[in-house]
């Protein structure tokens, strides 16, 4: 696709960009390699000073950068401001904690006595230039959650952003430049997807991180595996949202609406499949549908807008096809179900939609719906709810609304795939994502999935003789 800013609220192409040629990409790779040689030797204090300065600048730019994101990909401007604020918070979090996170470690003697070494030390060292292939749905956050820990670890960054958010991509390079980072610490590569493979194969690029679709992740993982390079991947999601009879239905339904339509429904970690115990299914459905119908769909620049346009015309077409396949196969739309094509909404809008009567044969049961479309399931009991929740190739997170026993304890007795899929649990007293450390640590130096962005080095002292 062309590298361009196209306003999804009206389909107008505002600005187009030429992709960088081989000479410019080569210049930037050389610069990244050269900058890393010196930047890797800087102190944590110096890196923290630079990152804190970048956070301060981002706070100053918050209003303008929010409008820029909204213009490029359509999220409501209030949510765009919140995204910018979250990024600044994450930058300060890493600036304060990176040194401790990457401190040398000395395992207990009892843990290493079988090695024959008299002393063992684990050290974390930067890898070098890291390629980040990032998506458009959270155009600032997805990059900052990679860049902040990577830069604090002593790495340098090369950003290949989605082709529909070029202004955000260029802003990020400028942000780190204005903060005082050495030239080459963070560079944006305005390139097409076809150029990614050659860059990933370049020996100067030491690692890669990608957030995006399964095909994109498969391509990056394949090349990285062939080249034996470290990767961190986050791919699609179709998260289950389980509601049991003991739940507070009013609160569960209210949170369900937000969980499904945040970011216009274009979030990999959003709740998408709503699995409700038969005893409260109808009561929950009534509340949930009423909440979805009450949302304001419109101009994302307006402060009262809840749901803006989808980011691209193709994205809306893909969503339409999923919904149409389901309704042709017997599903019922309790609200929404058809794209909005009205003179006052000339962009790529799709209404909040709730589908019921879903079967395993429908595409929407197996595929991720990237837009404000929820699927509603009826479960006879918790065991069936877990089976439905796990009848998906996707993971990422889960919600379980139940009173009394903690959901993790309940589901722990029903291991199987549930033990792997239902890994982001919450009860009705903490249904929203907790403000916990991993909320900011994702893609950090010690990422819990994939590989770390700082190389651990093991140093065994000479054996005692």
| Catalytic residue set | 234, 268
- State the Cα–Cα distance between residues 85 and 79, nearest whole angstrom: 10
Q: What gap in Å lies between CA 101 and CA 295, rounded to an integer?
A: 42
Q: What sign results for the dihedral spanned by CA atoms 282, 288, 290, 293?
A: negative
What's the maximum distance between 2 C-alpha atoms anywhere in the chain? 85
Residue 286 φ/ψ, nearest 5 degrees: -60, -45
Closest CA to 273 of 362, 339, 141, 142: 362
d(CA 96, CA 88): 13
Q: Does residue 457 sit in helix, strand or coil? A: strand
CA distances, 259 to each of 16, 240, 262, 265, 363 (Å): 34, 11, 6, 8, 22
Query: What number of CA atoms fall less than 13 Å from residue 95's CA on the CB side?
Result: 19
Kindly compute the dihedral angle of the four CA atoms of residues 350, 163, 95, 56, in this order, to the nearest 10 degrees: -80
Distance CA(59)–CA(70), nearest Å, equals: 17
State residue 359 phi and psi, 5-degree precision: -120, 165
């Amino acid at each position: 696709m062309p590298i361009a800013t196209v306003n999804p609220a009206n389909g107008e192409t505002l600005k187009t960009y030429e992709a960088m040629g081989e000479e410019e990409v080569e210049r930037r790779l050389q610069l990244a390699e050269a900058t890393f040689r010196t930047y890797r030797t800087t102190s944590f204090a110096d890196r923290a000073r630079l990152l804190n300065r970048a956070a301060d600048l981002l706070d100053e730019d918050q209003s303008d950068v929010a409008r820029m994101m909204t213009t490029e990909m359509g999220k409501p401007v209030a949510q765009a401001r919140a995204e910018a604020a979250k990024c600044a918070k994450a930058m300060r979090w890493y600036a304060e904690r990176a040194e401790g996170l990457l401190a040398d470690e000395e395992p207990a003697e009892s843990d290493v006595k079988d090695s024959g070494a008299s002393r063992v030390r684990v050290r974390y060292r930067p890898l070098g230039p890291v390629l980040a292939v990032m998506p458009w749905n959270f155009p600032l956050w997805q990059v900052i959650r990679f860049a902040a820990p990577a830069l604090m670890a002593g790495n340098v960054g090369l950003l290949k952003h989605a082709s529909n958010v070029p202004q955000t991509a260029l802003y990020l390079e400028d942000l780190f430049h204005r903060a005082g980072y050495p030239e080459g610490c963070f560079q944006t590569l305005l390139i097409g997807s076809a150029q990614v493979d050659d860059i990933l194969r370049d020996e100067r690029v030491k690692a890669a991180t990608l957030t995006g679709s399964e095909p994109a992740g498969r391509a990056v993982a394949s090349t990285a595996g062939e080249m034996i390079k470290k990767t961190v991947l986050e791919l699609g999601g179709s998260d289950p949202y389980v509601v049991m009879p003991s739940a507070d239905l009013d609160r569960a339904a209210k949170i369900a609406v937000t969980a499904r339509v945040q970011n216009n429904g274009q979030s990999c970690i959003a709740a998408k499949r709503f699995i409700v115990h038969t005893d409260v299914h109808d009561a929950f459905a009534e509340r949930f549908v009423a909440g979805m119908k009450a949302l304001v769909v419109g101009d994302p620049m307006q402060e009262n807008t809840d749901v803006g346009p989808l980011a691209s015309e193709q994205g809306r077409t893909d969503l339409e096809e999923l919904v149409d396949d389901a309704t042709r196969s017997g599903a019922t739309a309790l609200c929404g179900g058809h794209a909005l094509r009205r003179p006052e909404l000339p962009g790529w809008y799709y209404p909040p939609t709730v589908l019921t009567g879903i079967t395993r044969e429908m595409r929407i049961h197996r595929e991720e719906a990237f837009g404000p479309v929820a699927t509603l399931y009826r479960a006879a009991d918790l065991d069936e709810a877990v089976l439905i929740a796990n009848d998906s190739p996707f993971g990422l997170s889960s919600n379980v609304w139940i009173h009394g026993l903690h959901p993790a304890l309940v589901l722990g007795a029903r291991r199987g795939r549930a033990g792997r899929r239902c890994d982001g649990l919450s009860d009705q007293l903490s249904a929203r994502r907790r403000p916990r450390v991993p909320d900011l640590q994702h893609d950090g130096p010690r990422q819990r999935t994939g590989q770390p962005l700082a190389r651990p080095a093991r140093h065994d002292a000479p054996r005692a003789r």
